[in-house]
Amino acid sequence: MGLATDARLEAVLFAAGEPLTKKRLSALLDIPYAALDEAVATLSDSLAERGLTLVATDTEVELRTSAEAADDIKKLRESELSRDLGKASLETLAMVVYRGGATRGEIDFVRGVNSAAAVRTLLLRGLIERTEDPGDKRRARYLPTVDALAHLGVGKREELPRYAEFTATLVEQEEKAQLAEEPA
């Protein structure tokens, strides 16, 4: 027997690590809106008195930590900020800086793993910022901040090691991908 719809919803929201539209959730879970609304209500009720809560608007749903856990989360974030950046965060930062910005999907694709924790760490430290993706308003694009460049010891992206080489390779790869997508 498979998971209940509310459990599937919880798993998807946990894995996403960011708000998802109800339309996308309905498609991902292959359920109608009415069943999604029911799953949201059931999950919300089951999370009462726990460390997580469900935040839902008319169009989006997100799994968040509860307000009652704020002090504990604050301690966790302070301890994260006192540590050096790990390999995953450095890889993610390098990709965002060299590309001049990237979506979570692009980061995950290049790294081959879920990068939610690395993105969160970089956001918390102010090394990247979240903006609306001009190509698709439903996605977020992460851009490097001035602090990121300072952290890397450069004044501008062009001063990064092998910047011209990596940029040329990136442009070449993107052109190949666009040609592959065009109908013959």
pLDDT of residue 180: 74
Residues 2-28: tens digit of each pLDDT: 789 999 999 999 988 888 999 999 999
* Domain regions of the chain by residue span: 5-68, 84-181
Residues 92-147: tens digit of each pLDDT: 998 899 888 999 988 998 888 999 999 998 998 899 999 998 888 888 999 999 98
Tell me whether domains 5-68 and 84-181 share a fold.
Answer: yes
- The fold of 5-68 is Arc Repressor Mutant, subunit A (1.10.10)
Residues in Cβ contact with 122 at an 8 Å cutoff, skipping those fewer than 6 apart: 85, 89, 92, 93, 96, 128, 142, 148
The Cα 97–Cα 145 span in angstroms is: 9
Least confident of 45-54, 95-104, 163-172: 163-172
- The fold of 84-181 is Arc Repressor Mutant, subunit A (1.10.10)
- Residue 59 predicted with pLDDT over 80: yes
* pTM for the model: 0.53
